[in-house]
Amino acid sequence: MKRILFALIFLLPFIARAQSSAPFNYKAEDRYLYYSDVVKVDSSLTVSDLYKDAKLFFKKLVLINTKITTDDQQGGVVAADIEEETTYKSQGVGDDHMSLKYSFKVEVKQGRYRYTIDNITITTTEKDNKKVVNTLYDIDKGKDSGVLGINRNKRILRSMDALFLRKIDVLKKTMSKRSDDF
């Protein structure tokens, strides 16, 4: 009995670490979950320069299902609705399919810009080949269930988070220098 108790005490920190929620990079305001930040760039970059860079960023994404919804050069706003096919790690070996729909907006001002990724919906396929559409909030609220905190929702969130962080990194690299492509 003492050995079992000792083993449980020894394993408790590992189990507690596995149960803790993973730090994802989206922000939460009640039921509204989104990615957003204001980024300062070289102050010599004008609104026109940053607008051109934002347009170039959407061109660099090279996603087939990108629909530009706002293209306001005077106001410095470029926004798009995007549909993207991707994968997340399965419980076993390999990956499972998921589809993301989201809005990506870039607003520019002299020497800074703000990006916002919101209206995120995630479509996954269940075992019976039934497609299920969930909002980011729905996936987020179910992330802490499962054995030792390792479940499907966390794997989906990790994959989605990594995908958006890569896009944000490309945006930062694109917006940091003057572009003459447009």
What is the CATH classification number for the domain harbouring 132?
A: 3.30.530.80
In a domain, 18, yes or no: no
In this predicted structure, what is the pLDDT of residue 19? 47
| CA proximity to 84, closest of 114, 104, 108, 64 | 64
In this predicted structure, what is the pLDDT of residue 10? 61
Question: Which residues lie below 8 Å from residue 109, measured CB to CB, with a gap of 6+?
Answer: 47, 50, 76
| CA proximity to 113, closest of 164, 78, 80 | 78
Q: How far is CA 122 from CA 15, 59, 137, 160, 176, in A?
A: 29, 23, 10, 9, 31
DSSP state of 21: P
Question: 84 has which bridge partners?
Answer: 100
Q: Is pLDDT at 39 greater than 60 in this prediction?
A: yes
- Does 93 or 35 have the greater pLDDT score? 35
| CA proximity to 167, closest of 90, 68, 88, 62 | 62
In this predicted structure, what is the pLDDT of residue 178? 76
From start to end of 90-169, where are the E strands? 95-109, 112-125, 131-135
In a domain, 85, yes or no: yes
In a domain, 141, yes or no: yes
Two structure tokens written together for 57? 């960023």
Q: Which domain holds residue 152?
A: 26-175
In a domain, 50, yes or no: yes
- Phi, psi (degrees; rounded to nearest 5) at 172: -60, -40
In a domain, 164, yes or no: yes
**Cβ(59)–Cβ(46) under 8 Å?**
no
- Residue 113: Cβ within 10 Å count: 25
In a domain, 180, yes or no: no
Cα gap 48→74, rounded to integer Å: 8
In a domain, 69, yes or no: yes
Q: Is pLDDT at 77 greater than 90 in this prediction?
A: yes
Q: Is pLDDT at 168 greater than 80 in this prediction?
A: yes
In this predicted structure, what is the pLDDT of residue 170? 93
* Share of residues in the chain with pLDDT > 70 (%): 80
In a domain, 81, yes or no: yes
Cα gap 55→68, rounded to integer Å: 10
Q: How many domains does the chain have?
A: 1
